[in-house]
Structures are given as C-alpha cells and as structure tokens.
Homo-oligomer: A and B are copies of this chain.
C-alpha cells in the first residue's frame, strides 16, 4: 500500500523496468491479463519476487485473475518516470554515441535528444541524427538554457569525470555513464553506469570455470 518515498532496492527497480517491457510484449500479443508467474518466467525471476516488487507500490493485482496488462503498464510507466518526456543530451559523439542517438527504444519511451557534444574539432558542426554536434565548451550554456535533465556520457574513460562535473554544474540531475570508470557526483545527482567491459569479463570468468552464469535456479 505504501506509495511514499520508501527505500526501494535497486535490483527491484531494474526488475520493474523488465516487467514493463514484458507487459508491452503481452499487450502487443493481445493479452489482457498477466499472472505473476508469466511475468516471472519472461523476466527470469520468481512469481513471489514479482508480487513482492509490485506490492510495495500498491495492490495492482486481482486475486484469482492476475494483473490487468494495461492498468499495470500505466502504473509502471508512472513509477519509472515514463509518462513524461525527458530531455537528454549526448556527450561524446563517437560511434557508440551515434548508435544510442538512433536507438529507437529511447525515443519511443519519451527520451528526446536535444543536444550532442564532442570535444573533437573535426566533429563540431557535423550532424548526428537531426542534431548538430556542438563543442563541449558550450555545454554549460546550452544545457542550462535547454532544460536538459539527463546526460548520456559516451566519452573516453579519461574524460568521464571532467565531463560529469561539467554537466552537473550545468544543472543535469541524472547521468547515464557508458565510460568504464566510476564517476563521482554530488549529493542529489543520480548516476547509472553501463559497463560492457565488466559484463564481458564476468562472462569470461564464468567460462573459465566452465559453468553457466544464469541467474535464478527456479525454472
């Protein structure tokens, strides 16, 4: 029943995002309801986990029936902040940045790229999917005036902290960091990292042992 600002486990939040995606699939498949069991098997967790995760935000299910797909999607959209648009800036207009700015999934879920920056003079002025690449030096000015709240960092590791400091100074409150280093931000700013090197090395660790990584035991 608790909807207030409670301590929500990070892992639970990420699962909410997974549930949401599965619900989109189910809606697309024409399903009207979804049991915790379905949600669990499609996301690789357990039915009890799904119910626990959802129940900390409200009683969205109907006993004997399951969860109605559309209403639950709406709830999750609200929880995850997907019922509004977010202005996003890309910092680092390399190949990865170019890939992300085109990634349809972001656009479809309300993330709108409104600026792209790079420090390489050769890239300044070039177009990237409807945006003109601006010099990183203009970061502070452009971000502040355009109301950007999220920065996606696809810069080299060595530049990541400096760029993070700059976007935070420009008022950005959320950072999605693709550089393989941990960046430090002041209180009140959120950072999530996507570290593909770590994931790849976790994979080779598992391969070296000759075992499967796979998460949950319950099939």
Interface on A for B, CB 8 Å cutoff?
Answer: 5, 8, 10, 13-14, 16-18, 20-21, 42-44, 79-82, 86, 94-96, 98-100, 102-103, 105-106, 109, 111, 149-150, 173-176, 180-182, 185, 187-215
Task: Add 12 more A-B contacts to A81-B205, A150-B200 (CB < 8 A).
Answer: A5-B211, A17-B201, A18-B198, A20-B201, A21-B197, A95-B98, A96-B100, A150-B204, A174-B206, A187-B212, A191-B214, A194-B199
Q: Are B199 and A176 in contact (CB under 8 A)?
A: yes
- In Å, the complex CA distance between A209 and B55 comes to 18
Identity of the chain B residue whose Cβ is nearest the Cβ of A152 in the assembled complex: B200
Identity of the chain B residue whose Cβ is nearest the Cβ of A94 in the assembled complex: B99
* 9 residue pairs bridging A and B, Cβ less than 8 Å apart: A8-B205, A13-B206, A14-B202, A21-B197, A80-B208, A86-B204, A99-B99, A109-B201, A193-B199
